[in-house]
């Protein structure tokens, strides 16, 4: 699975305005809802937040991947946000988050959901990519960076 296939610049928010974890999740859900990718904005926000309460999605190295499955979503969708200031996500390494990938999928799409989580985690093991993401000034720059990184890895 390629992120470039499911992530477009209109689903990226740079910078995120939110200053906390809940606000960042809500802001990214709004990005997807405004584009018609999810049908129940508040239901998705609650589903993601409930998942976040079970265990943090702050995976370390300044990355968070909040995610949920919902009947309010017909296909796998992804939004990315880069906050102006790092956000405390209660990450496993105790470090604040600088890049947030929000993943939502239909309830019956377990395979693609897990595959997308694995792809995001895998490409973000590259410390140079993580550093570059925090330096981008626009959604178009971030999209180009991710596409180039994936192309180089193939």
Query: Residue 53's pLDDT is what?
Result: 92
Task: Number of helices (H) and strands (E) in the chain: give both, helices first.
Answer: 6, 6
Is the pLDDT higher at 153 or at 65? 65
**Per-residue pLDDT at 4 exceeds 80:** no
User: Using an 8 Å Cβ cutoff, are 52 and 66 in contact?
Assistant: yes
Direct distance between the N- and C-terminal alpha carbons of the chain, in angstroms, rounded to an integer:
11
For 29-58, write each residue's pLDDT tens digit. 999 999 999 989 999 999 999 999 999 999
E strand or H helix at 71: none
DSSP H or E stretch at residue 49: helix 41-54
User: What burial class does residue 133 get, using C-beta atoms within 10 Å of its C-beta: 0-12 exposed, 13-18 middle, 19+ buried?
Assistant: buried
The band of 74, judged by pLDDT with boundaries at 50, 70 and 90, is: confident
Catalytic status, residue 67: yes
- The tens digit of pLDDT for each residue in 93-140 reads 999 999 999 999 888 877 877 888 888 888 888 899 888 988 899 999
Report the C-alpha gap between 53 and 11 in whole angstroms.
24
* Residue-level pLDDT at 12: 95
Selected catalytic residue, list 67, 113, 143, 149: 67
Output phi, psi for 12, to 5 deg: -125, 140
CATH top class, domain 3-153: alpha beta
Per-residue confidence (pLDDT) for residue 116, from 0 to 100: 85
* Residue extents of the structural domains in the chain: 3-153
């Amino acid at each position: 699975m390629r992120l470039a296939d499911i992530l477009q610049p209109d689903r990226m928010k740079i910078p995120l305005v939110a200053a906390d974890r809940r606000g960042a999740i809500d802001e990214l859900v709004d990005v997807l809802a405004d584009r018609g990718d999810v049908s129940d904005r508040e239901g998705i926000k609650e589903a993601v937040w409930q998942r976040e309460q079970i265990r943090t999605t702050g995976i370390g190295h300044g990355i968070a991947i909040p995610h949920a499955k919902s009947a309010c979503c017909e296909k796998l969708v992804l939004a990315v946000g880069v906050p102006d200031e790092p956000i405390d996500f209660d990450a496993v390494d105790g470090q604040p988050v600088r890049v947030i990938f929000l993943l939502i999928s239909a309830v019956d799409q377990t395979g693609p959901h897990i595959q997308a989580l694995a792809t995001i985690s895998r490409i973000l093991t590259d410390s140079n990519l993580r550093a570059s993401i925090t330096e981008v000034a626009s959604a178009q720059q971030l999209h180009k960076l991710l596409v180039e990184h994936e192309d180089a890895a193939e």
